[in-house]
Amino acid sequence: MSLLVVGSVAFDSVKTPFGEVNDALGGSGTYFSVSASFFTDVRLVAVVGEDFPDEHINMLNHHKVDTSGVEKKPGQTFRWKGSYDFDLNTAHTHDTQLNVFADFKPNLPENYRDCEYVFLANIDPELQASVLDQVKKPRLVACDTMNFWIEGKLEALKKTLSRVDMLIINDGEARELGENANLVKAAKKILSWGPKTLIVKRGEYGCLMFDEKSIFSAPAYPLEFVFDPTGAGDTFAGGFMGYLASCGEMSNEIFRQGIIYGSTMASFNVEDFSLNRIKKLGKDEIDSRFRFFKGMTHFEDL
């Protein structure tokens, strides 16, 4: 089934203890789209500058990502520069140039408005709400956010959360949004604002899923080599939402399987810089790692 994502397409300059890249393809919408494309049809809404090369659009199209919703405007593409220490869980931002992204106003093509699954990536909550005004009757809407919006546009964010089914954020954002260091207590508060499900990404410690009746915990996939965690959260969300859309049904069990597929995709992403690893993936590799992941966490009740 069709999956819509509204987010950023960017150039990233990243330095880690294991290497460095400059002006590499990045952005929440990009990572999400490529990851989700292994499971379902994806439609991307974003904005880029006149400096954005056709080869990147061609790569997305090669993955059967519909880019007719990507606007090219005069100016430069959004750029982010950051670094990671050996604690790869924390990104240090050195420079952010919004460029054409500063005036981004999502305008969905008519054939995007009937998408059944919608993901609102990390953008202004007022823009997220404007997207919800344009879609018709989606079966599931999930969104992301960050501390910048939590601190600067909390009321607008709460209004958006009242209209979505699911929120996918990291543990620091969950604690700040829920105003509690305890994730269980923070989750209860966040769920009271409207979302039926909260997924908390915890980097190398895996993730947690909360709803009214249950808590699900999944570890991260153990990796020997980690080069760049940039985009891992968006890759996780893409794998998760892509799998849900491919199933065409929703249940706690499907969500749990989706989390493992999302974690599987994120584990590939961090093995190289930018999208270099995931854009070369084969479905057999994904399924093989998913099976290993499943076996790693399985045990019998004796």
> What pLDDT is recorded for position 88?
83
pLDDT tens by residue, the chain, 302 residues? 899 999 999 999 999 999 999 999 999 999 999 999 999 999 999 999 999 999 999 999 999 999 999 999 999 999 999 999 987 878 899 999 999 999 999 999 999 999 999 999 999 999 999 999 999 999 999 999 999 999 999 999 999 999 999 999 999 999 999 999 999 999 999 999 999 999 999 988 999 999 999 999 999 999 988 899 999 999 999 999 999 999 988 899 999 999 999 999 999 999 999 999 999 999 999 999 999 998 888 788 77
**CA 56 → CA 17, 42, 49, 52, 282, distances in Å?**
27, 16, 13, 8, 19
Closest C-alpha to 26, from 46, 50, 41: 46
Burial class (CB in 10 A: 0-12, 13-18, 19+), 296: exposed
Is the Cβ–Cβ distance between 219 and 230 less than 8 Å? no
β 79-83/92-97 pair status: antiparallel
Q: What is the pTM of this model?
A: 0.95
> What pLDDT is recorded for position 297?
83
> What pLDDT is recorded for position 254?
96
Measured CA to CA, the distance from residue 33 to residue 38 in angstroms comes to: 9
> What pLDDT is recorded for position 150?
95
> What pLDDT is recorded for position 294?
87
* Dihedral over Cα of 179, 182, 185, 186: its sign: positive
Structural domains of the chain, with CATH = 3-297 (3.40.1190.20)
